[in-house]
Structure 1
Amino acid sequence: MHWGAFIAAVQERGEYPSQEEAERSSRIVLALLGAHLVGEVRAELAARLPETLALVLLNPLQAHEPLPPERFIRATAAWIEGATEKTATWDVSAVLSVVADVAGEDLTDRLLLQLPPGYDLLFGRPQPS
């Protein structure tokens, strides 16, 4: 997917008033996500993202342990000026739902296997219990 199409999709899903806000959320969420993914799955996802965002995913912020979804949201809120957990949940979901669309069902399923339980909702792909 090209940069403009990806950012436009995030902007629409997140109902952001500006492209800059969609870009900011995309960079932060993908930098945090990249710290949770390894190997072939991370490389495959990077290959499907716009080049700028692929580099963000491949050069992630460091995580000492996989963060459960609640802590991932808190970490996102900490990186976005003025964000709350509620607004960060919105940001994360806007970006990750577009990532799921770009990745496709098979790759999204493999991404979710590398993440702690509960991320399926953030990707907009609730899994049956």
Structure 2
Amino acid sequence: MTDRADVPSRVLEALREICATLPESHEEAAWVGTRWRVRRRTFVHVYTVRPGQDTVFGRASELDEPAVVMTFRAQPEEFEALVNGGEPFFRAAWGHDVVGMMVEPDVDWAEVKELLTESYRKFAPAKLARLLL
């Protein structure tokens, strides 16, 4: 793992609390940072990017300081609304439905919970998704 794995504990704890409510979701170390999965599919990934790093995000942004980035999946209409709305959201450089989000200190965790629940629903088996109703 690289130093991009050092996501602030307050962010990890908030995400753990959200993801603990999603049936059969589990946390694991990703190639960088941390991700949560349902079965074998990742529905949220969080990591830290530093200025000047040779990464897709690092090259596409002009960071002055480290930034915590979270990626998740969205339905087409939600995807367009989020990425076209601008900061803190952006279009991730991979996947047609992957939204990136800068996790800022004043993040609305209630909104994040809604977004991650929908991302989970995209990948969860129908039996598990129905448990969220």
- TM-score by length of structure 2 reads 0.29
Structure with bigger strand share is 2
- TM-score by length of structure 1 reads 0.30
Structure with bigger helix share is 1
